[in-house]
RNA sequence: GGGCCCGUAGCUCAGUUGGUUAGAGCUGGCCGCUCAUAACGGCUAGGUCGCGGGUUCGAGUCCUGCCGGGCCUACCA
């Protein structure tokens, strides 16, 4: 199968339960994965959890458990959530997986063989939370006079032997890479990264001796790798690195690393540098999406406004959540969400506009045509509507999804839905029923064709609901790709098969805002 | 401290390289329809385009200062 497509999400740090941001990123990746499959590409989609590091070790210690126990439980919570969200990952990777340790050691050895790793000694202030070292001068004073990092996180004095990576050696190549159109999006991030590099790169400390929860450095068992070295490596672990093989040949370099805007630097500076050092190709694109705000405010434990994605799924269903996040938020920018906004948007666009369009149409076909379809000749108005729908479904939406402009693509789709509803009103098939039954049939079946296109187009976003619609229409499960939109023969085949439309069931019932919703 | 972004109708936002009456969706109001999930369609709501200057025949769209919000980065006190 031609045209492979490899997409990854960041692997999530499971020192707590998954929050809305994890759901958002992974849903977006899944929409892309499903979209590319419908476009006929062979997709490999990987997500997972990043389980090493001092933060995990500390968290486990605080809970009186082993890091592994904590990792197992939390990673499980992530996997469970992603399964509920209908995420079609091909691999859920865990950095504690045996093959991942092997891959991490291999890339380490490749960098070492290149002469890019050297052992040195480090003394200074270290912030566990930031996983970073700070200069004495950078520190600020806390309320109680304690020393804090510039970010306000606690720091502790550390003296250790550590491995360094010759990051500065790759500065020129990295700038060149960052200037490559399409490598880093949104482009607004590009200047920041270039400025960071041109401000002078320091060699990167890439190992720790102060704890042992991580991947051991080859030949130096007292060192574990800096979490980012092993975390980033997950992207190639999942393809069989270092052994190579069919999957490796087919899918590396990745088409897209989808990540949050906060970790753009790790993915567009450190990661490419590691790969260059190991003589491996760099990823084709890194996209840093925005954050979701809860009514415009950042969620945090201290603010007590953390949303459990599972709760949203319980209340509103998976597809509603998926639709809202992809349609409401301009991809790449921060977005705001609330239960009210979700209910309003989903009810207006999915239930009232699209769902009801399908319901009223199928209901009329069921009642007035005994559910039977027949060949017909569309007139000018019918053709005009179908052209609008086809344009939105087969041209605009795919074009926008290809460039990750989901909200724009969905908007075009919605415009086509509006056109269908306006068409129903103009044609008034309920009146034609008495005056011109043949014409009524043509109108209803024109709508039938339109709904099929619309349902096919929106599948990546609302996979379960759209397939429910397509099932009711009688569209074969192997006739639902974007290529099938251009198939002119499917309706005739459906008629010939004698398909009968049953009494329809609303695919997108209206949502209700729970009473418990406060403020 | 340096660099960058944002602030457009009640809400969420579009606004190409500056050019006739500044747009969309939601909400509100009015009218129509009754097939449908009390859903649909049409009309409408008249906003100093954050504030003050400037360039220009003409600026939301360029320059500058200020206010407010955000981001990246930095060893000066």
- How far apart are alpha carbons A2 and A258 in whole angstroms? 23
Least confident of A21-30, A121-130, A287-296, A403-412: A121-130
Model pLDDT, residue A519 = 36
Model pLDDT, residue A148 = 66
* Closest residue, by C-alpha, to the C1' of B72: A192
A384/B28 CA-to-C1' distance in Å: 33
Instruction: Considering only residues A265 and A2, tell me which one the structure prediction assigns the higher pLDDT.
Output: A265
**Closest-lying nucleotide for A429 based on CA to C1':** B35
Asked whether the beta carbons of A289 and A261 are under 8 A apart, the reply is yes
Rounded average pLDDT over A305-309: 80
Model pLDDT, residue A452 = 97
Model pLDDT, residue A304 = 67
- Top mean pLDDT of A55-64, A198-207, A233-242, A282-291 is at A233-242
Instruction: Considering only residues A366 and A198, tell me which one the structure prediction assigns the higher pLDDT.
Output: A366
Rounded average pLDDT over A22-39: 95
A124/B4 CA-to-C1' distance in Å: 32
Model pLDDT, residue A469 = 97
A265/B71 CA-to-C1' distance in Å: 13
* Closest residue, by C-alpha, to the C1' of B69: A296
A120/B48 CA-to-C1' distance in Å: 63
Indicate the fold that domain A339-496 takes in CATH.
Isoleucyl-tRNA Synthetase; Domain 1 (1.10.730)
Least confident of A373-382, A405-414, A455-464: A405-414
Nearest to A188 by CA among A340, A107, A290, A112: A290
Model pLDDT, residue A140 = 62
Q: What is the DSSP string of A395-443?
A: IIHHHHHHTT-HHHHHHHHHHHHHHHHHHHHHH-HHHHHHH-HHHHHHH
Rounded average pLDDT over A172-187: 87
- How far apart are alpha carbons A249 and A237 in whole angstroms? 13
Residue A240 burial (CB < 10 Å; 0-12/13-18/19+)?
middle
Residue A243: left if φ>0, alpha if ψ -120 to 50, beta else—which one?
Answer: alpha
Rounded average pLDDT over A4-14: 94
**Closest-lying nucleotide for A350 based on CA to C1':** B37
Q: What is the DSSP string of A275-309?
A: HHHTT-PPPS-EEEE--EEETTB---TTTT-PPPH
Nucleotides of B under 7 A from a protein CB: 2-5, 12-14, 25-27, 32-37, 39-42, 71-77
- % of chain A surpassing 90 pLDDT: 67
**Closest-lying nucleotide for A348 based on CA to C1':** B26
Instruction: Considering only residues A4 and A334, tell me which one the structure prediction assigns the higher pLDDT.
Output: A4
Model pLDDT, residue A257 = 95
- Segments making up each domain of chain A, as ranges: 5-289, 339-496
Model pLDDT, residue A121 = 83
Model pLDDT, residue A456 = 97
Model pLDDT, residue A514 = 77
Model pLDDT, residue A517 = 42
A188/B56 CA-to-C1' distance in Å: 30
pLDDT exceeds 60 at position A143: no
* Closest residue, by C-alpha, to the C1' of B74: A199
Residue A253 has a CB neighbour count (10 Å cut-off) of 16
Instruction: Considering only residues A466 and A150, tell me which one the structure prediction assigns the higher pLDDT.
Output: A466
Least confident of A118-122, A385-389, A391-395: A118-122
Read off the pLDDT band of A294 (50, 70, 90). Answer: confident
φ/ψ of A487, rounded to 5, equals: -80, 115
CATH number of A5-289: 3.40.50.620
Q: What is the DSSP string of A269-284?
A: IIHHHHHHHTT-PPPS
**Closest-lying nucleotide for A189 based on CA to C1':** B72
**Closest-lying nucleotide for A417 based on CA to C1':** B40
Rounded average pLDDT over A289-311: 76
A114 to each of A60, A118, A169, A270, how far by Cα in Å? Answer: 36, 11, 12, 16
Rounded average pLDDT over A91-111: 96
Supply the pTM of this predicted model. 0.92
- % of chain A surpassing 70 pLDDT: 92
* Closest residue, by C-alpha, to the C1' of B73: A196
pLDDT exceeds 90 at position A370: yes
Rounded average pLDDT over A146-173: 79
Model pLDDT, residue A518 = 42
């Amino acid at each position: 199968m031609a045209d492979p497509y490899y997409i990854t999400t960041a692997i999530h740090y499971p020192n707590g339960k998954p929050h809305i941001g994890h759901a958002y990123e992974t849903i977006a990746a899944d929409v892309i994965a499903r979209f590319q499959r419908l476009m006929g590409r062979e997709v490999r989609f990987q997500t997972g959890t990043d389980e090493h590091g001092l933060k995990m070790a500390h968290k486990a210690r605080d809970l009186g458990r082993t890091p592994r126990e904590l990792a197992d439980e939390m990673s499980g919570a992530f996997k469970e959530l992603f399964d509920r969200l209908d995420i079609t990952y091909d691999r859920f990777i865990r950095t504690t997986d045996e093959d991942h340790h092997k891959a991490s050691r291999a890339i380490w050895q490749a960098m070492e063989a290149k002469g890019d790793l050297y052992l040195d000694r480090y003394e200074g202030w270290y912030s566990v939370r930031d996983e970073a070292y700070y200069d004495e001068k950078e520190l600020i004073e806390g309320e109680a006079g304690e020393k804090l990092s510039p970010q306000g996180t606690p720091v502790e004095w550390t003296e250790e032997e550590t491995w360094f990576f010759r990051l500065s050696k790759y500065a020129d190549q990295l700038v060149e890479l960052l200037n490559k159109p399409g490598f880093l999006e949104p482009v607004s991030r590009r200047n920041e990264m270039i400025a960071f590099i041109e401000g002078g790169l320091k060699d990167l400390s890439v190992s720790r001796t102060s704890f042992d929860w991580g991947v051991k450095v080859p030949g130096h068992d007292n060192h574990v790798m800096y979490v980012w070295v092993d975390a980033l490596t997950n992207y190639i672990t999942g393809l069989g690195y270092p052994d190579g093989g069919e999957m490796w040949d087919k899918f590396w370099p990745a088409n897209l690393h989808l990540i949050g805007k906060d970790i753009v630097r790790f993915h567009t500076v450190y990661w490419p540098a590691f790969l260059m050092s190991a003589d491996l190709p760099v990823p084709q694109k890194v996209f840093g999406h925005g954050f979701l705000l809860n009514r415009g405010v950042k969620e945090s434990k201290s603010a007590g406004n953390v949303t459990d994605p599972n709760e949203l799924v319980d209340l509103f269903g998976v597809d509603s959540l998926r639709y809202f996040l992809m349609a409401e938020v301009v991809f790449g920018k921060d977005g705001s969400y609330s239960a009210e906004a979700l209910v309003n948007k989903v009810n207006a666009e999915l239930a009232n506009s699209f769902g009801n369009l399908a319901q009223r149409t199928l209901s009329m076909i069921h009642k007035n045509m005994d559910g039977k379809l027949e060949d017909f000749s569309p007139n000018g108005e019918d053709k005009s509507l179908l052209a609008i729908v086809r344009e939105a479904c087969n041209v605009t939406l795919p074009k926008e999804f290809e460039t990750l402009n989901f909200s724009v693509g969905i908007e075009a789709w919605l415009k086509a839905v509006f056109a269908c509803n306006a068409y129903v009103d103009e044609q008034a098939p309920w009146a034609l029923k008495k005056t011109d039954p043949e014409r009524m049939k043509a109108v209803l079946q024109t709508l039938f064709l339109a709904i099929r296109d619309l349902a096919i187009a929106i599948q990546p976003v609302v996979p379960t609901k759209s397939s429910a619609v397509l099932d009711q229409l009688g569209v074969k499960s192997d006739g639902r790709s974007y290529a099938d939109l251009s198939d002119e023969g499917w309706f005739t085949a459906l008629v010939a098969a004698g398909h009968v439309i049953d009494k329809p069931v609303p695919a997108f019932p209206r949502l209700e805002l729970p009473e418990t919703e406060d403020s």
